[in-house]
Amino acid sequence: MKKNFFTLLAALMCLPMMAIKVHTIGDSTMAEYDENTTDKRGWCMYLGSFFDPQFVTVNNRGKSGADTRGFYNGAAYWASVKSQMSAGDYLIIQFAHNDEGTVTYGMDNLEYAQYCSDNSLPAPTDARGTNPQTTYRDYLRLFIDEARALGVTPILAAPICRAYFQNGDIRRNGRHDLGDKFSKIENGVLYENQSLPADDHSMDYVEAMKIVAQEKNVPFIDLMQATRELYLSYGETQCLNLLFCQGDKTHTNTMGANLIARQAAQMMKQAGILADHINIPTSISANPTALDFGEVYSGVQQNKELLITGFGLAPAEGSVTISCDGDLSLSADKTNYSQSVSVSYQGNTLFQKVYVRVSYTGQGAQSNTITISSGDMQLTVPVTANVISLAGGSAVSALWPIADKTTVDNANVQGPIAATFTMRHMMAADTKSDFTQGDETGITLVRLHNADDGGAKTAWPANEIDENATRYIDFAITAPGTMEVRVTKISLDITSHSTGFMCYHINTGFGDDFTDVQTIAEKVNMTNLEIDHLELTPTLTIPAGETLHLRVLPWHNLGEQKSGKYICIRNVQIEGLAFDPDEEPHEGIDTVTGNPSPVTHKIIRHGQLIIIRGEKQYNAQGQQL
């Protein structure tokens, strides 16, 4: 067995890599999202469909809430991306949304933090914010220089517009120019609500990026101007209804993200960047071209999306039939599922999202097919999955009732796991009993509020549009040293108090560095006092001795600072099954801890945790590599 293992490992190391990888770094407008939890889509989720997959793949590392400084310094972000780069690769850099800041617009957050310290003011709880004249440019230069040092070609992509319509155009701050309202510190004095003439671009992040591109001789893709023209072509009502998430003027849905990715690919092709490997289809095509569910648990339902598009179609009107086989089912409305759906198009253009559901009952490798037909045209999309049995495991669970503010960290634990609770920049204020859930009224919940470093209540910052990675409520379970845990369900009750503008992400991640982050649930502008019960079924495997974190990251989506606004959570439960892996041990492999496990092996390759069991390799989420 040991000989076979090292033969496999040597073969894996010698396998030819894809000729080129395009790495993308930036914020939530380009990030990955789970189709099971949200209608939000980052445009880089679709960029890969416009490249020839035989020659180019996309490694999308966009991060919700990231500014340039946070991404550069975050242990799980820039350092990890660099470890995945090879000479000949490309790097697309898009930042600005969060660099603009939330407390003081256009200021470097560290400068503002020093001002607060000097004047005995509470330290800002939001670490985001750079100045377009100084630190924003500095971090762009760092990304460029460090990528080039690895033989990677950097590309600067201007941030996509916010859909801030005004008088038939996109408002100045929607174009990432804060000239109408910004803050500055001069000679120790804070000046707020400053403004500049329209032709003064001193507070314009896109202009700052252009200057760095010229200075460093880096290709510049002006997605700001491209998306400005795209949004205006639809008009405000249609743009917001068709291209954006409901109630959101920053984050795109499937259609918006796909159209922006298409524009980015067209602009790269026109600029001669990977032009020979970019294909802008005009006939009917599917995105992605293949659906891989990865590892799924037997009997646990999972969902993905298939986007079917066509431009310049003939005839101008027609219909398309989408069918599937095996354990798959399809829906065009996310409600009615069957093995065949028919959709129509007109105006020579097709844009249809199809929901794909699987619930396998067997185990092992699965292979199915989705077929798209229209007239004489037929297109197939392969669907694959590796089904993991849940038979034979020992039940484990951790339940945090959060019934009283003095016992929020108490957990009821079943099985051989450890459970912990932490909060950062949050505090438990008090309890209220005016919540409702269905027909039940008078429910008591603990109210949680934004807090400073010392745990004292402080106002929620203004104009936060996304999660703040330094503010969270964290629930964690650690697998025993000789067993892995397969998480089968995550559930909780969640609501807001005294506000209809509270928002949240619920993310999972592994270890102290919070790696392999997934957003498994989110909501914008919660309904005050009405409790939502969430039951989530992500496929998550916790390797032996490792820790899974479940983080609730709240923010208050209002244009002014506010205190006395709360998020409330109760009955947070992580359930799963613990298993004893039965593969033989393999000697001679360095593990994360330095001590070979008796049943599995863990190595770090390209900055990522790899679990080796027998002759199979898995990432930290249990997906086979």
User: What is the third-level CATH fold of 285-388?
Assistant: Immunoglobulin-like (2.60.40)
Pairwise CA distance, residues 245 & 160, whole Å: 15
What's the number of CA atoms in the CB half-sphere (13 Å) around residue 275?
A: 6
Cα 603 to Cα 12, 321, 418, 524, distances in angstroms: 14, 46, 23, 38
At 597 the pLDDT is 37
Rg over CA atoms, the chain: 25
Give the model confidence (pLDDT) of 125-158 as tens digits: 888 999 999 999 999 999 999 999 999 999 999 9
Compute the CA torsion angle 428, 429, 432, 435 (nearest 10 deg). Answer: -50
Q: Are strands 302-311 and 285-287 parallel, antiparallel or unpaired?
A: antiparallel
What's the number of CA atoms in the CB half-sphere (13 Å) around residue 447?
A: 20
pLDDT band at 613 (very low <50, low <70, confident <90, very high): low
Compute the CA torsion angle 97, 98, 100, 103 (nearest 10 deg). Answer: 140
* Structure-block tokens of residue 540: 């998550």
Would 15-277 and 285-388 be classified into the same CATH topology? Answer: no
Pairwise CA distance, residues 464 & 503, whole Å: 10
Q: Where are the beta strands (DSSP E) in 335-417?
A: 340-345, 349-358, 364-374, 377-388, 394-400, 412-414
Pairwise CA distance, residues 269 & 261, whole Å: 12
Bridge partners (DSSP) of residue 409 are none
At 311 the pLDDT is 84
* Structure-block tokens of residue 247: 């109630």
Reported CATH class of domain 15-277? alpha beta
Query: Hey, CA dihedral for 434, 446, 461, 223, is it positive or negative?
Result: negative
Give the DSSP per-residue string, 259-305: HHHHHHHHHHHHTTSSGGGB----S-EEESSSEEEEEEETT--EEEE
At 41 the pLDDT is 93
Among the four given CATH numbers 3.10.20.30, 1.10.1740.10, 2.60.120.260, 3.40.50.150, the one describing domain 394-579: 2.60.120.260
Q: What is the mean pLDDT of residues 458-485?
A: 92
Is the pLDDT at 103 greater than 70? The verdict is yes
Query: Given the structure tokens 């500049």, which residue do they identify?
Result: 196
Asked if 110 and 117 touch (Cβ cutoff 8 Å), the reply is no
pLDDT band at 585 (very low <50, low <70, confident <90, very high): very low
Asked if 593 and 601 touch (Cβ cutoff 8 Å), the reply is no
For residue 201, give the amino acid letter. H
pLDDT band at 196 (very low <50, low <70, confident <90, very high): very high
Lowest mean pLDDT among 23-27, 446-450, 452-456, 533-537: 452-456
For the chain, the structural domain boundaries read 15-277, 285-388, 394-579
At 616 the pLDDT is 56
Give the model confidence (pLDDT) of 269-308 as tens digits: 999 999 999 998 878 889 888 899 988 999 888 889 999 9
Pairwise CA distance, residues 54 & 216, whole Å: 31
Percent of the chain with pLDDT over 70: 90
* Structure-block tokens of residue 602: 């863990």
pLDDT band at 559 (very low <50, low <70, confident <90, very high): confident
Closest CA to 504 of 513, 494, 512, 514: 494
Pairwise CA distance, residues 566 & 429, whole Å: 9
Is the pLDDT at 581 greater than 70? The verdict is no
